[in-house]
Amino acid sequence: MNNWTRGAALVMAVAGVAVAAPYKDPQGFTVTPPNGWTVTKEVPGVTVAFLGPRTAAGFTTNANVIVQALPGNVDLKTFTSLTLQQLEAVITGYKLVSNTKTTLGGAPAQRLKLQGKQGKFDLYFDQVFALKGGRAYAVTVTVPRAQANTAGPIMDQFIKSFKITR
């Protein structure tokens, strides 16, 4: 599995849940996870992950941030195309739900919403990535697919709290 599809902050609460204090990372960003989520830097290929509630089926709702140096002169359109190819290769039953322009941390960004399976889990992924200063910053939130609609406001809060500080 590539870095862009690893772990993500787990979100199963409803809108309006209190948030924790902002997390500041030496890779050049801050982000505010939902209150009560656990921070870990122990996920391979991920700069930081935030772990939320575990479902009865054993999946841990999660969010992650990946910061990666970019090779050469990669623009957002090319990066988006490459990311979509990678995601399709690593997510079983991959289905792109939406692909829209947005911002992340004040930089132009792309937002991908998709669904598919990883192992026995049927999941929903919400990923936003931006390119700035020769680096790619990606925020991914992963929840059980059945909870995608109720988790949306919390996913939006997590992504909107992201700030690039470099």
Sorted by sequence, the CB contacts under 8 Å of residue 153 that are 6+ apart come out as 14, 15, 16
Residue ranges of domains in the chain, CATH in brackets: 3-164 (3.40.1000.10)
The per-residue pLDDT for 154 is: 74
| DSSP bridge partners of 138 | 129
- Indicate the SS3 state at residue 44: coil
Per-residue pLDDT, 85: 95
Beta bridge partners of 96: 114
CA-CA distances (angstroms) from residue 108 to 16, 77, 103, 115, 118? Answer: 27, 11, 5, 24, 29
Tens-level pLDDT at each residue, the chain (166 residues) = 334 333 332 222 223 344 578 999 999 999 999 888 999 999 999 999 999 988 889 999 999 999 999 988 899 999 999 999 999 999 999 999 999 999 999 999 999 999 999 999 999 999 999 999 999 999 999 999 998 886 777 778 888 899 999 8
pLDDT of residue 150: 67
The upper half-sphere exposure of residue 26, i.e. CA atoms within 13 Å in the direction of its Cβ, equals 1
Please measure the distance between the N-terminal and C-terminal CA atoms of the chain and give it in whole angstroms. Answer: 28
pTM: 0.85
